[in-house]
Amino acid sequence: MPKNYVSNSPESSRMFKSDLFESLSKVHYSVPLFIFVPVIIYFSWKSLSEGGLPWHTFVLTVIGGLFFWTFTEYFMHRFVFHFTPRGKFMERIHFIFHGVHHDYPNDARRLVMPPSVSIPLATGFYFLFTIFLSEYYVAAFFSGFMTGYLFYDMSHYALHHANFKSPFWKKLKKHHMQHHYSDASKGYGVSSDIWDRVFGSNEKRPQKST
């Protein structure tokens, strides 16, 4: 994504003429918690109680879902949110998807995914998982996947609005801010930089002189 306009305003420009569509494009950062924490609890209960999965199988499957989320986060950010638009229509789609966030990175109402997008995406991934896993394994895997998503959403908000003392969070914030303010073609991981390391899309660090 070419570096064009960047505003430090806590608000951003209007995206839609329709008041309904405009309201659906914004959300308070706490909303995903109210929607998806009950979903995670339900599917965890389903796999453990109704499905009778052994606790160690449940834990391993949840970890698998978490791990798969980290790759999904990286893949979607790099290849979906940062696709190269061609033509006015695709430029508009690109701006709605992600360009607005790069132009107005501190807009608190557009830092977590609105339910109008997150619910259909979560539903789609759930049915995708049912192709490969049986019912109760899907429940555990989906619980881990959605836990990873919530960590991504909450950490993304925090990286833009919180001041950290922890070395881990300070490093993660630096990683994400370099994506915004230095090179948007690097640093696609938000909640983790693991796949940036694997695929060589980390921000290049200055070499220390010897």
Q: What are phi and psi of 95, to 5 degrees?
A: -65, -45
Amino acid at position 189, single letter: G
pLDDT of residue 65: 97
What lies within 8 Å, CB to CB, of 135 at 6+ separation is 51
pLDDT computed for residue 7 by the predictor? 61
- Please tell me the distance from the alpha carbon of residue 176 to that of residue 189, in angstroms, as a whole number: 8
Apex CA 200: angle with CA 198 and CA 203, to 5°? Answer: 120
Q: Are 11 and 103 in contact (CB under 8 A)?
A: no
Task: Give me the tens of pLDDT residue by residue for the chain, a chain 210 residues long.
Answer: 444 556 666 666 777 777 787 777 778 889 999 999 999 999 999 999 999 999 999 999 999 999 999 999 999 998 888 877 788 877 777 777 676 777 777 777 777 788 888 999 999 999 999 999 999 999 999 999 999 999 999 999 899 888 888 898 899 988 888 888 888 888 899 988 899 999 988 876 544 444
What does the block give as tokens for 57? Answer: 């199988």
Helix (H, G, I), strand (E, B) or coil at 158: helix
* pLDDT score of 20: 81
For residue 4, the model assigns a pLDDT of: 54
Predicted pLDDT of residue 209: 44
pLDDT at 121: 93
